[in-house]
Structure 1
Amino acid sequence: MKIRVGIIGVTGYTGGELLRLLLNHPQAEVKKVTSRSNAGNDVTQVHPNLKGQICLVEEQFQIDAFLEGLDVVFLALPHEKSAPLAKELYQKGIKVIDLGADFRIKDSEAYEYWYELKHSCPELLPESVYGLPEIYKDEISKAKIVANPGCYPTSIILGLAPLLANEVISNENIIIDSKSGVSGAGKTLTDITHFPNINENLLAYKVGNHRHIGEIEQELSLLSKSPVLINFTPHLIPMNRGILSSIYVTPIANVTQKDLDELYQEFYKNCPFIRLRDKDNLPQTKWVQGSNYCDIAPIFDERTGKIIVFSAIDNLVKGASGQAIQNMNIMFGLDETSGLKLGGIYP
């Protein structure tokens, strides 16, 4: 029997990407979807690219009726909105994959600092698992609540994990320069995402106080087993999809390019969605567009003695909906690549 799926908050980009990918999943079926803005209408009214692929009316949301007959629910909601729903789902024994931020940060005080509000269900934080399969696959397989990582954190944590877990680099002076396509900001129009403002433009934003910093530092510190502070600067670029992170770190021992290559190959040897690149084929967002891959290239700069790690993902797939489905597969004991065996869209 197929996994019976519900999506709450289907109207946005991540909701639409969930639908697109799940329609091609051999072992899952989307049974119910809902959102505030399109309730009572066919889901293809807000996702016209899927017309002819699915015919499903968004339900007027009433939680008990919505949950009936479902095995798993994806929450594609803003922060603060997911936690109360996740609590009800958890109590009813339905598995939850939250694409929002409510369960990513494990310390409720840290959550309050970064999101400027109190967590409504702090008692559930220990019950949730951070949904980065390359690091937490075993924990995800037993989880009832999975906190799907943010898009920037996915590209950064995967880029740095082998170095920090193996104590190759200093925890200090980690400098991260990330550039994201506009879809990462969501559907709601803002001043910086308005076409005349972002077209032919490149800008940094939320320097030093981006909310993903708390999540990134939490996970990097766990990998390192000691506190990690980062300098993280996100940039918005005038393209639809993709994140490229360039990460600058300092080794604490002698290292060669061969050492780095072997380290990353060993660390990610059982990770089907990690593709390692090299100096002559540095990661490009175009190569991962539409796919669940993360392309990584660790480069040793002999002249400066620094390591530069390049990491590329599609922010809507590996950075959101594709990773969420990867987590679903693991939670239900499926091959983690099921429904996700898609190459990038090129050119």
Structure 2
Amino acid sequence: MIKVGVIGATGYAGQQLVWLLNNHPQTKIEFLASQSYGGQSISTIYKNLDKFVDEICIDTNEIEKNIKNVDVLFTALPHGKSFDFVKTALSLGVKVIDLGADFRINDTDIFKKWYKTEHKFPNLNKKAVYGLPEINREKIKQSQLIANPGCYTTASILALAPLLKFNLLEEDSIIIDAKSGVSGAGRGAKTETLFAECNESIKAYAVASHRHTPEIEQELSILSGSKITLTFTPHLVPMNRGILSVCYGKLKDNISINKVIESYDSMYGKEKFIRITEKLPETRWVKNSNLCDIAFRIDERTGRIIAISAIDNLMKGAAGQAVQNLNIMFGFEETLGLQMISMVP
């Protein structure tokens, strides 16, 4: 059994991770930690866990002495809060899967620019592997530190990756219009995510300034072999879960529909968690699962392709992907503990 610890266990991504780890046949929860609910059982905060996961959350000042007792540490914290825990874990030979943003950006100057935070450990950052399994599976197998991707990022990169990998898209033409459920904003009390504020409404936010932008550009640039600069606009929609990412780009001259189909089949044909669909993706078909649905349409009139993806932001966009990375790191079947499909209605 793999012994695990979770820091930030009472946030939305953290509790989803706890739910998954409790159902995983090869993991044992050794400790849970919470800054807000130290000293309380997690099942008093999330009643769905009652009688299944009743561990008491330790305070953050007790974390370091407990890290040595685990094989892998999950950190699900706001940016800037994971640095010291990650350093301690790695020094003790403990693997780390960070669900936050602290190790996702390769260039620490870009990290500072977008997150307004100095990166404490640039040398550790160089050792981090971006944890998108469909792109970096072989690197993940060998890594001690995984930077688990963001939710908007996962949906957008997966939708566009084949087009850039196989050089089908004009690199300067990309626009991403993405929409997220309210859980993507976290569990903290904020006026703008109160029911009366966001229900019956949809809005764009962080226009031309969302922090997932450099993450998307970084990974797409690596795939394409050239620098990608794109436009990314996120929206908040009044639902609990889900990301729908609609990505636009100009196809290069003489690119046929068959060539596009071949690119997606080549990259994702054997993937367990990606479904290339004829029908347009909807968040309800992936809710509560680790699946990513992708479809595309070509606008013959404009020469543009529209690639659309749907994921559950707390699963493939956070905790599910973290468990997928754990499975790869420890040599388990990649789908272990993640075989659930969406429940409807």
TM-score, reference length from structure 2:
0.98
Matches within 5 A, 1:103-252: 103-252=103-252
Matched with 2:91 is 91
The secondary structure found in structure 2 opposite 1:309 is strand
Asked if the contact 2:246–2:308 (Cα under 8 Å) also holds between the matched residues in 1, the reply is yes
Q: Deviations over 1:274-319 (max 9, x none)?
A: 00012xx110000000000010012212222210000000000000
Matched with 1:257 is 257
How far the C-alpha of 1:255 sits from its partner, in A, is: 2.5
Q: What CA distance in whole angstroms lies between the structure 2 residues aligned with 1:233 and 1:12?
A: 25
Matched with 1:58 is 57
CA RMSD of aligned residues (A): 1.0
The secondary structure found in structure 2 opposite 1:163 is helix
Q: Which amino acid aligns with 2:168?
A: V
Matched with 2:336 is 338
Aligned mate of 1:320, from 315, 318, 321: 318
How far the C-alpha of 1:66 sits from its partner, in A, is: 1.2
Asked if the contact 1:176–1:248 (Cα under 8 Å) also holds between the matched residues in 2, the reply is yes
How far the C-alpha of 1:173 sits from its partner, in A, is: 2.0
How far the C-alpha of 1:43 sits from its partner, in A, is: 1.1
The secondary structure found in structure 2 opposite 1:248 is strand
Structure 2 stretches lacking a partner, 5+ long: none
How far the C-alpha of 1:269 sits from its partner, in A, is: 2.0
Q: Which amino acid aligns with 2:89?
A: L
Asked if the contact 1:257–1:299 (Cα under 8 Å) also holds between the matched residues in 2, the reply is no
**Quick check: 224-233 or 248-257, which moved more?**
248-257
**Seq. identity, %:** 49
The secondary structure found in structure 2 opposite 1:73 is strand
Asked if the contact 2:78–2:101 (Cα under 8 Å) also holds between the matched residues in 1, the reply is yes
Asked if the contact 1:180–1:243 (Cα under 8 Å) also holds between the matched residues in 2, the reply is yes
Q: What CA distance in whole angstroms lies between the structure 1 residues aligned with 2:248 and 2:161?
A: 14
The secondary structure found in structure 2 opposite 1:235 is strand
How far the C-alpha of 1:21 sits from its partner, in A, is: 1.1
Q: Which amino acid aligns with 1:42?
A: S
Matched with 2:275 is 275
How far the C-alpha of 1:13 sits from its partner, in A, is: 0.3
Asked if the contact 2:5–2:70 (Cα under 8 Å) also holds between the matched residues in 1, the reply is yes
Matched with 1:12 is 11
- Flag as ranges the 4+ runs of structure 1 deviating above 6 A: none
Asked if the contact 1:79–1:100 (Cα under 8 Å) also holds between the matched residues in 2, the reply is yes
How far the C-alpha of 1:265 sits from its partner, in A, is: 1.1
Q: Which amino acid aligns with 1:137?
A: R
Q: Report how many residues are paired.
A: 344
Q: Which amino acid aligns with 2:293?
A: D
Matched with 2:20 is 21
The secondary structure found in structure 2 opposite 1:192 is helix
Q: What CA distance in whole angstroms lies between the structure 2 residues aligned with 1:126 and 1:77?
A: 20
The secondary structure found in structure 1 opposite 2:293 is strand
Q: What CA distance in whole angstroms lies between the structure 1 residues aligned with 2:83 and 2:59?
A: 20
The secondary structure found in structure 1 opposite 2:170 is coil
Q: Which amino acid aligns with 2:6?
A: I
How far the C-alpha of 1:24 sits from its partner, in A, is: 1.2
Q: Which amino acid aligns with 1:203?
A: K
Asked if the contact 2:68–2:89 (Cα under 8 Å) also holds between the matched residues in 1, the reply is no
Q: Which amino acid aligns with 2:32?
A: V
Q: What CA distance in whole angstroms lies between the structure 2 residues aligned with 1:270 and 1:295?
A: 14
Q: Which amino acid aligns with 1:41?
A: Q
Structure 2 residue 41 is matched with structure 1 residue 42: yes
Q: Deviations over 1:132-186 (max 9, x none)?
A: 0000000000110000000000000001110001100011121110000000000
Q: What CA distance in whole angstroms lies between the structure 2 residues aligned with 1:246 and 1:189?
A: 29
Asked if the contact 2:101–2:147 (Cα under 8 Å) also holds between the matched residues in 1, the reply is yes
Q: Which amino acid aligns with 2:274?
A: I
Q: Which amino acid aligns with 1:314?
A: D
Structure 1 stretches lacking a partner, 5+ long: none
The secondary structure found in structure 1 opposite 2:247 is strand
TM-score, reference length from structure 1:
0.97
